[in-house]
Structure 1
């Protein structure tokens, strides 16, 4: 059953470019989710963003949620086109009739979803859900459309504010550096000028021009520093060093504990002590490492282990190495080549989990964007090890 649009890779890159911290957005969007539920008279409403492997709920009312495997959602179908999706009876729909949210509590029955459209792509959805039959009038649908547009505007505003904050922080740091760096050249200019003034009557022309030459070199040095600062701000900052590796690892385990628990999988986390306080761009790292951890859970057997290691490259101390190792079904060389390509390739997980085939290729695109390296080591029947090398940005 087709759950991937033809423009999926550009859509995922558009979502990644927003650089949003999905986990922290609920305070911003819970009110809109509640408003949607109140308008339609439904007990549940969610605002979701959908990446390669997960649905991230950034606003909820009536049924709390944060992260759900994409294949276990209704909204994966809502984002396939620009039309609204209404499912009057989830239990009678072949796509959803056997899903846990239909056959078990909360026994969902009715769904109405509207795509969240941003810059040419459907990045998520606004949905209202009921546990009994429902019918939404055209007037209420128009109000839902207004809420969906408001979600889009708030996401754009959030992204713009984040970019401005990053630029201001970068500007402040550069001002401090500039103040330090120009102190020497300016002091040199002042000293040479003082010598010329003190020896005005006795200074011969050769010495006079020699001092002027030194003053010119010092002033050029100051000008060069200022020009460097100005050129630095012609491009947007690529990183948002907003969380330490230790904090990131704790959040990562918390997010995926539920998914791992369903298969009785344990995490084995190891962080090089020298990396505990190193800051990383949380949002990009979560998309990269989160997708790989989720993939490892999907292809691991019951009661197995997933190892996550944060290391320093031994030959130098400026590269972070992240290893995610599972002991699942593994891949052949041909399979590794396929998952790294942009071809759609999906395999059922060890518990029948359905995927979409884009996750690992998307990870590679994000690692390339961060000027890193990505590789896979695997043997059939013995599991996979994903290795990411990324430049250390801030120590």
Structure 2
């Protein structure tokens, strides 16, 4: 059985969105594989896309076949991580020594492949080079160059997708204009309230109604201004990040992140922004601190958004539990569980759509820009994971971030519970 990435369903959907499978030659990609073949002195260079049951070659230099089954595909192993896979001698590698592509034509001995990674983090396939002779070495400089070839190939595919998307874009109509007006109106409302509070606090300080500066009551207004300004900045950050994700203009800065500490930080930020009582958000005890390789800022933003939603959609007495743990397969799950108003299936579907607003019959409209969950979904997918939501009306919601096992770096024992 061939290896399957944790997020293969979403990965295949991403591949389908590029509308590139079984299409004609691409001159630019063909030029790229020719150059790679000459540079690495390999007779075969490929742009391989890993479909559900096969790998299909969008560009193939030195190979007559246009596809192979996924079972025998070396590239199926390469797409398990973001790093290149190098096999110096396939006959000496237990994973490939009895592979049909090694034992039979084209008799692969050397293989080096780098994943084609989309702006959202999905690995669609690889840029790879193949030789029928084993090699003694493939240097770090060679590996870096191979990654550059893969990045260039992915940029070509991304450009092609954007051109097709633009050509297929229907002319704007009254509905699109109304959606824009509604969005601007909502954003203006979301920004106006905290800015008005800032102005009021500034006027109090300016008028010195408590006498000369130095009175402790002025400090309260300075703190209020700081927290209110933070709300505006957080709103702007969410909107900017969502816009960048929509255009693909975003990069991840990966580092080692402690999940327990991250839960504590996200809780503090969400409570501060919402003005809620911190006691209503509880972090479940963890026996171990789990360290993951991820973008710390984006991961914190995902959790903060989920906690803010849990605080917002409730009947006035929120009870929220934050929990994290590893499955037997090593998948990290971070849960935000609330006892709020919940949603039905249609509500979940609507909540995941950009700019959508949920209005439940008989309940007060709580407002918002409508980018929280769509932003979380895109950010977690960029990490190779997924967002799962379980919800029932009048019972509550469980929103879960699932990160693949390859992102879990290490764990260590904990002795002190986190409040």
**Normalised by the size of structure 2, how large is the TM-score?**
0.40
**Normalised by the size of structure 1, how large is the TM-score?**
0.42
| Higher Rg of the two aligned structures | 1
